[in-house]
Amino acid sequence: MNVTYEVFDHTAVIAINRPEALNALNIGVLAELEKTIAQAEGDENIYVIIITGVGRAFVAGADIQQMKDMSPAEARAFGEYGNSVFRKIESTSKPVIAAVNGFALGGGCELAMACDIRLAGTKAKFGQPEVGLGITPGFGGTQRLPRIVGMSKAKELIFTAETIGAEEALHIGLVSKVVADDELMNTALELAGKIAKNAQIAVRQSKAAINAGMQCDITTGVAFEAQAFALCFSTEDQKNAMNAFVNKSKAPEFKNK
């Protein structure tokens, strides 16, 4: 099993478990990752997903051993499949946290960028080294990196194949927090718990509105927001929470209805 799946309260922890290959992504790993994401998405008890790696890597990249003899047609199919899996991570209704515990290079950096929030341990390393191997990033790196860190920095990182550390990743906005390596999973679970305490319909509508808005003009984006805002007013959670606020009483637990 190259991908493990554990549940802690309302959080699913998905771990790439191929440490002998620094968790490199091949077709089999991608298929298992796709399956576990679908499992978490389909479980009503799961509110947040964490993705991490086993050993000293998050994901060190796509599997070069598998890629090196691919034809252009095979490479295109591989890239399209990896992108489809990462789009499923990005578009799943539930928040996804990347707990980056080591090398996040190439496909690993792209996997982290497909997540909603990225936390890094102090030993984490990020980069898109593909041009040093004669290829471009193939799992969304040319698209997500400039959206996250800006076009100039993204081009610098991709064109130079440079690897950066956790603090530099924090400085450029690639990650939102750096913590001690031995505190990384606890920090990710704590963050997941904070998210899980809130109204999940509102959380998911917020994610959908943000994701949609990042791909369109602001006029269209605020229309998405208005739709999400209105939908929340059809929920029991909105009515119960607002009534409790007005009445200065303790709000009941969210029912996610």
Q: Which member of 41, 74, 90, 130 is catalytic?
A: 130
β 125-127/177-179 pair status: unpaired
**Dihedral sign, CA of 192, 194, 199, 205?**
negative
d(CA 200, CA 205): 8
Which two structure tokens, joined as six digits, stand for 146? 């400039």
d(CA 125, CA 111): 13
| 253 labelled catalytic | no
Q: Which member of 32, 110, 225, 253 is catalytic?
A: 110
Angle ∠(14,111,28) on CA atoms, nearest 5: 65
d(CA 229, CA 234): 10
| 236 labelled catalytic | no
Which two structure tokens, joined as six digits, stand for 154? 């993204």
Supply the residues annotated as catalytic.
110, 130
